[in-house]
Amino acid sequence: MRYLYAITGLLLLLAATAAAGSFKANMDVDIYVDANNSSENFADSDTLWAASEDGKSVKEVYLSFVNLFGSQSIFKPEQLQSATLTLDVSKVENPGEIKAYLVHGATLGTATWSDKPEYSSNVSTSVDVEKEGSYTIDVTPLIKKAVEICTEGCPYSIALVAQDGASVGFTSAKASAEKKPVLEYENSD
């Protein structure tokens, strides 16, 4: 009988250990859209631009991710311990703040400014970009909201929006597999 209890305990311990972990999200699409070229598509660009002029966003970056929360045992926002988005800044025309917002749903590779997805401004996070290099943004609030909205089945995106005259170019997945945007998150259960 003790043997049965020991095996059961071991299986439960293994199941609990398998549920906790660190994961890299699979990015489906990375694209930017341009207000001055509202019907053009920039899915094949090596540089993803986020820019603003006169207090208005004129170029926005969209990163669309495959939702695997359920298969990674993340069913509630509280189970998400942390989430980071690592970006490689390849060009800086004007330094400044870049805000990250959650988009409920996928961003298609055919997106243009005219039909870009809407992001929610209720939850955001930001990073100040001064020069070229690698930047890591704490996107935990965005990914917790993504878990809340849809644990399994629906995709989600992150929009990068420049503030106050900033103009920043990020390395796309097309340009470099090593320097592409990377979303990593860790669950606690």
Say yes or no to pLDDT of 8 above 60. Answer: no
Residue 31 lies in a domain: yes
- The closest alpha carbon to 162, from 83, 99, 110, belongs to 99
Alpha-carbon dihedral sign for residues 144, 150, 151, 153: negative
Reduced to 3 states (helix: H, G, I; strand: E, B; else coil), residue 79 is: helix
DSSP 8-state symbol, 78 = G
Say yes or no to pLDDT of 3 above 60. Answer: no
Residue-number span of the structural domain to which 164 is assigned: 22-187
Residue 16 pLDDT grade (very low, low, confident, very high; cuts 50, 70, 90): very low
Number of separate domains in the chain: 1
- Provide the CATH number for the domain around residue 130: 2.60.120
- The closest alpha carbon to 42, from 28, 62, 66, belongs to 62
For position 34, what pLDDT does the model report?
98
Residue 13 lies in a domain: no
Say yes or no to pLDDT of 17 above 90. Answer: no
Reduced to 3 states (helix: H, G, I; strand: E, B; else coil), residue 186 is: strand
Residue 162 lies in a domain: yes
Residue 114 lies in a domain: yes
Residue 6 lies in a domain: no
Say yes or no to pLDDT of 23 above 70. Answer: yes
pLDDT tens string 137-167: 999 999 999 999 886 678 999 999 999 999 9
Q: How far apart are CA 120 and CA 104, in angstroms?
A: 8
Say yes or no to pLDDT of 175 above 80. Answer: yes
Q: Do the strands 167-171 and 56-65 form a parallel or antiparallel pair, or are they unpaired?
A: unpaired
Residue 57 pLDDT grade (very low, low, confident, very high; cuts 50, 70, 90): very high
